[in-house]
Amino acid sequence: MNDYFNQLFILGEILFKGVIKLYKKDVSNSKLAFSRLKTLSTLRFNCYPNQQKPVEISKQDGAALGCETHVDSGVFTILYQDKKGGLQVQNRKTKKWHSVPHNKNALIVNTGMALQFLTKGKFKATNHRVLWNKTKRMSIPFFFEPSYDFKMNYSFLSKSLKNKGNNIFFYNLIVSLLNLNFKIATIGDKIKLGNIKNFGYSDKKTVNKIISLSKYAVGNRENLYSFFIQDCLKKNLTVFYNIEFKKYELFKNTQ
């Protein structure tokens, strides 16, 4: 089991170095993000028992699900599934779901939110789900995740150092997003004033000051636009949108 973990960790590094090469950066920078002793990477054995009923019914297409729709938090998820399959991934443009067939000689690689963050959305986190299976099913995912103290930064893969001061520890990112269906707010998002709340280590006074600025309000101050997110970045805050609770959450970055 240790050997399998180590081999998948090495595979994850190879894949990540491939991404770094796309940005024409030094592949040795991979060591800044991944340390074998500090990594939060995990190898899991997911056993889906004989479920009596689905976990949920998809509101989109009515499919019975054994695992709800979600994205993973790390850089890559490297998965082996058994012959029963069941994994589906979503096409972002058409919103259609596609079943991933079993192949005993292949591993499935999904991209996660950490990679989406680092690449500013160029590599989107893979939206996926598992169909309800009335018989026992096994899958073995390896979640390739950075070191807990890795400082997430937009400039890590970018040529520009403009956002060099906007860091967030990967561990804090995980804590803030744990068990939530979320997305990182981006410039141009429309935000309802009533849907903003303080979260994590955010400075309440700073947040209230940002919200109170009338120049960021539209009409009756019910809506805030990209200026709000821009100002949050200046105040060293990252903005997340919790889809499940329909709330924008502010998380203070590291200095």
> Are residue 24 and residue 129 in the same domain, yes or no?
yes
Same domain assignment for residues 177 and 104: no
84, 159: one domain: no
Do 131 and 12 belong together in one domain?
yes
End of a domain among 144, 162, 195?
A: 144
pTM of the model as a whole: 0.67
Same domain, 116 and 241: no
Distance CA 53, CA 132 (A): 8
Q: Of 144, 179, 206, which residue sits at a domain end?
A: 144
Q: Residue 105: what pLDDT?
A: 93
108 with 167, same domain: the answer is no
Q: Report pLDDT for 237.
A: 65
Q: Containing domain of residue 172, as a range?
A: 151-252
- Residues 200, 239, single domain; the answer is yes
> Please, where are the H alpha helices in 54-183?
113-118, 170-177
Instruction: State pLDDT tens for residues 31-80.
Output: 989 988 888 899 999 887 787 888 889 888 899 988 888 888 889 999 99
Enumerate residue ranges in the chain where pLDDT < 50: 161, 163, 165, 179-180, 198-202, 213-223, 225, 254-255
Same domain, 159 and 191: yes
Same domain? For 199 and 100 the reply is no
Confidence at residue 181, expressed as pLDDT on a 0 to 100 scale: 52
Q: What is the CATH number of the domain that holds 78?
A: 2.60.120.330
Query: Are both 110 and 163 inside the same structural domain?
Result: no
Give the tokens for residue 82.
Answer: 């058994």
Same domain as 161, residue 117: no
Are residue 169 and residue 55 in the same domain, yes or no?
A: no
Please say which residue of 128, 144, 160 terminates a domain: 144
Dist. CA 157–CA 75, nearest whole Å? 13
pLDDT value of position 153: 79
**How many separate domains does the chain show?**
2
Q: How far apart are CA 206 and CA 253, in angstroms?
A: 13
Q: Give residue for tokens 């695992």.
A: 67
Q: What are phi and psi of 71, to 5 degrees?
A: -120, 160
